[in-house]
Structure 1
Amino acid sequence: MFQRLTVVLLAVLALSACDGVDPNSPLGQRKAIFKQMLKTSEDMGGMLRGRLPFDSGRFAEGAVHLDALAREPWQHFPMVRDEGDSSARPEVWERQTRFHELARQLEASTGDLREVTRSQPLDATQLKVPMDRVEAACKACHSEFRNH
């Protein structure tokens, strides 16, 4: 009985560890980048909305990190739709010009936010508008190209 239970437990653990996405595949790479972007922007937004204490140094570091991340995922969208559990709609591959236009808008908004954070000391009230632009750029692309 113990052996049978052990085998079943090991099988369940092995299956739960597999989410089916190769972390080195284009899908795995972009999912990892998008998760980092989400975590970074949530922390920054939390500081501006009072959920987290405002830390100007940490916010500025987050802006630099978010700007760098915003330039990375696009290289991991191959020219043809890849296999796997992607949140991307087929339109990503069907409307490449528009998809890349929205990617450039995100990059511009994160770049603007990064620039604003170079002027110290930071004032949280002055960061709201540029952060709102970053969030709007994310939402615009999600609305057109992501399955929710």
Structure 2
Amino acid sequence: MFDFKSDPNLDPTERYRQLCEAADALTHDESDAVANMANVAALLWEFVPDLNWAGFYRVGTNAKGAPELVLGPFVGRPACIRIPIGVGVCGVAAKDATTQRVEDVHAFPGHIACDAASQSELVVPVIRDGAVVAVVDLDSPKTSRFSEEDAEGIEALAQLLSARI
């Protein structure tokens, strides 16, 4: 049995080092992408304070075969199931293959409000062989919740997971 807990008073560098270490321990020998995303979503919830949603959107296709983001494993309230590439914070992160750190989601053009309590958001693309395969999505009920250190920590996690999801 695993019992991963994080001290909420850790500095962000140490928090994300421990998060990546825990994610590596849980995913290194597991080939099932959904199982790995589920465990990492739970780790995010345990390690990152002040969240109201943590999880993944996977790159999939719509009924016409066009790429879109499809809800993956997460912790939090029910969420939007499908997001067009280029729409909302997650869709922009997937389209541009860049991290999106949004201090106030209500000021983000085209923001998709799956949970009205969300005030800020951090979305990091997971890139494998030069293509976005998923995004890690973190929402917080606090504005300006996510720092550059948070972004760097989740980017390190996304890199670790790129071959495992």
TM-score of the two chains, using structure 2 as the length reference:
0.25
- Normalized per residue, the structure richer in strand is 2
TM-score of the two chains, using structure 1 as the length reference:
0.27
- Normalized per residue, the structure richer in helix is 1
Structure number with greater CO (CA < 8 Å, separation at least 6) is: 1
- Structure number with greater Rg is 1
